[in-house]
Amino acid sequence: MNDYVLLRFDGDERVLVLGMRWHTILGSRLGQRARQKAREAKASHHAHAPGSEAVGVIRLNRADRGLADQLHSGALAFASDHRQGVVALRAELPDGRIWVVAVQGGKVLTHSDRVHDSAADAQAALDGLMAHHGDELVILDADPGDLGEASLPAFLGDASDACRLQPCGWSMPAIPRPLVVAALGCAAAFLLRSGWDWYRHQEGGSTPAQPGIDPEAAWAQVYEALRQRIRLHAESDGLAVLDALADLPAEVGGWRLSSAQCSRGTEQGWTCRARYDRRHRLATNASFLGARPSGWSETWQPMDAVVARFAVADGAQPLEPSRLMSRAEHDGKTITALQQVLPLMSGATLGETVPVRLEPPRDEYGAAMAAPPSMPAVSERPLVLEGPLRSMFLIPGLLANQVEWRAVSLTVDAAAELSLNRSRLMAGMSGVLYARD
């Protein structure tokens, strides 16, 4: 468990931990089971999101244990921002190694969260995920700069506390048990004496009562963090990324477009990858570089394919509950509008409605605080559309300011049979539909 990496960043005391080992836990009292699994693995620390059936474990070396309060699981942070579908991240680290992590429905998958020494090893890990999950898997790619200093707060977001590593209790066998028992005895005596002194002061009225935490203010902070994390797309914003995919050149210097994927990576827009295969016998890397659009960067894989990366800006806005339709309005209007364009689609999926997950604030005693009645209730349900690229431009305008589009894909099949819902350019869009309860 020692092959981990710590990513430190200037101007931020938090540190990302990459390369934890993840296990599946089942049953009730998942927090207790997570700690138990970590102790069984002889770990010094673990990472576990409340309610999750996955726990990450790690045994920090003694030099790193002093940073424990600053350490956050990179895999758990990635999972907190990808709670729908199966998503993998391939990130090149500053030292040249490659981190691969995969999540499904917000849960970190076992055998992921690995730091690989070579691109071949990382690709083998991704190939294994692709073989298991097939077309469900969305693969994101990140350069060293994408995990750079400016992106750490965005990478952790409002999930920072939930991603913090936790100590595993009795995990330091180097300390003799008699010394531990003696230390605990001294601590207990100190606490008893402190408690008695506090009680006497309270009886004498010399210590003023500590003010409690205001539930309204605490919940307002939680809700504002949620608002900023969710970025809803207006009708024109949702089409911007489709326009970018439609404008991709079919051939660049003898290399032919085969697929493209875009994901919402930052508040400013989309991070996209387009794969081109070497088709012309005289095509070279130089011919591709000489003909490609400006602003692209490439990764060669290795002789006969290239993945070009580029960004697409959009104007997505923070969640505004007052602009959301109610669940009943979605059932009566939005779904009807989607059904009207279904003949032009090859597939559409609308998942179950669930309340938006919020981590409640804690009072001065560490207990979860109940949400005040004034707090707006918002629900979400996953939405996936598949069909010809041309059909995606017919997405109903009713979805404007109601959906956060998170991933868009394009597949080129020159041999496809053309029909109303099939074409040589097939696309998919996945996101989350929000509603007022």
Could you report the per-residue pLDDT of 196-244, keeping only the tens digit for each? 555 555 555 443 434 568 888 888 888 888 888 888 888 655 578 999 9
Average pLDDT in the 73-85 region? 84
Q: How far apart are CA 97 and CA 143, in angstroms?
A: 11
Mean pLDDT of the chain: 82
Give the per-residue pLDDT at 276.
96
Of 377, 407, 119, 98, the closest CA to residue 270 belongs to 407
**Token output for 163:** 């991603």
* pTM listed for this prediction: 0.55
Residues 377-412 have pLDDT tens digits of 899 999 999 999 999 999 888 898 899 988 899 999
To the nearest whole percent, how much of the chain has pLDDT over 90? Answer: 32
Of 126, 208, 27, 138, the closest CA to residue 431 belongs to 138
Backbone angles phi, psi at 102, to 5 degrees: -140, 145
Adjacent-strand bridge partners of 77: none
Give the per-residue pLDDT at 127.
82
Out of 174-188, 230-244, 253-267, pick the least confident.
174-188
Q: What is the DSSP letter of 163?
A: G
